[in-house]
Structure 1
Amino acid sequence: MLQLKAIHHVAIICSDYQQSKAFYTQILGLPIIKETYRESRNSYKLDLSINEHSQIELFSFPNPPERPSSPEAQGLRHLAFVVDDVAQTKQTLELQGIEVEPIRVDEITGKKFTFFKDPDNLPLELYQA
């Protein structure tokens, strides 16, 4: 039996590297671990820290295909971030011009959550701890 311990990273391919880099570092405030330009692929790889255990790998590739639909496309549905206060985090994002859905309550856990999108319309979730 496998004994998976945690999620190490989530990899995201973006359409506009500089725009996505600014979003994830300046809007979401994720610190850069390492930025690498891979000349053979004409591609950047940006490692971002969420905490001491988890990362986002942001990739750029020439002409990546678009996501077929949202949010019910096959594949990764969304990426959820744990926050202490969903309402406060929602307000902070909105003050930076990010559109955030109304806060809802998970009918199973009773926890507050909401969704917003990154520059490529990838669905991101805020989930209250």
Structure 2
Amino acid sequence: MGLRGVHHIAIIGSDYPRSRHFYTQILGFPIIREVYREARDSWKCDIDVGNAQIELFSFPSPPARPSRPEACGLRHLSFMVADIDVEVARLADHGIECEPIRVDEYTGQRFTFFADPDGLPLELYEDA
């Protein structure tokens, strides 16, 4: 196969300005480009997350995502961090609560979960 990696992860936010602020200001990822698509009444913001992108969309009245109990489909999005304690503290400074830090029983790496403004499960995975 000619697959070379992940290009992007598409996310639809229920409140575009709130989601845009979360991913670009709180998590700190830079915007590559942002366009308003008038025919679809939709924003699309390409966000640089290192070796991939998040495509953040808005659509009028999107349905809620079933999450708990876990639904079939994408389970969560994980971000690699150098120091999980620093990132958990930084998120707490923004009022974002993380689950207790756990250790992956197979890799020995530390990880935790939190959520975006729409409840999408996100993970911090320490790359030590």
TM range (shorter): over 0.9
Instruction: Name 1:26's counterpart in structure 2.
Output: 25
Partner of 2:107: 109
* TM-score calculated relative to the size of structure 1: 0.95
Amino acid corresponding to residue 91 of structure 2 in structure 1:
L
What is the CA-CA distance between 1:71 and the residue it aligns to? 5.8
- Structure 2 residue aligned with 1:16: 15
Q: 2 CA distance for matches of 1:31 and 1:62?
A: 25
Question: How far apart are 1:87 and its partner, in Å?
Answer: 1.1
Aligned residue type for 2:58: S
Following superposition, the deviation at residue 70 of structure 1 comes to 2.7
Q: Give secondary structure in 2 for the equivalent of 1:81.
A: strand
How do 1:50-69 residues align onto structure 2 when only pairs under 5 Å count? 50-51=49-50, 53-69=51-67
- 1:3 aligns with 2
- Structure 1 residues 71 and 45, CA gap change in structure 2 (3 angstroms): farther
Q: What is the match of residue 49 of structure 1?
A: 48
Q: CA deviation at 1:59?
A: 0.3
Once residues 14 and 71 of structure 1 are traced to their aligned partners in structure 2, the CA distance between those partners, rounded to angstroms, is 20
State the shift of 1:72 in Å: 1.1
TM (norm. structure 2) is 0.96
Aligned length: 127
Distance 2:54 2:67 in 1: 22
Distance, in Å, in 2 between the alignment partners of 1:69 and 1:44 is 24
The runs of 5 or more residues in structure 1 that have no matched partner are none
Once residues 16 and 63 of structure 1 are traced to their aligned partners in structure 2, the CA distance between those partners, rounded to angstroms, is 10
CA distance in structure 1 between the aligned counterparts of 2:5 and 2:43, rounded to whole angstroms: 25
SS at match of 1:101: coil
1:6 Cα deviation (Å)?
A: 1.1
Whether the 8 Å contact between 1:45 and 1:57 is mirrored in structure 2 is: yes
Give 5+ residue unaligned stretches, structure 2: none
Counterpart of 2:118, as a letter, is: D
Root-mean-square deviation (CA, aligned residues, Å) is 1.0
Structure 2 contact 9–55 (Cα < 8 Å) conserved: yes
Greater than 3 Å deviation, 4+ residue runs: none
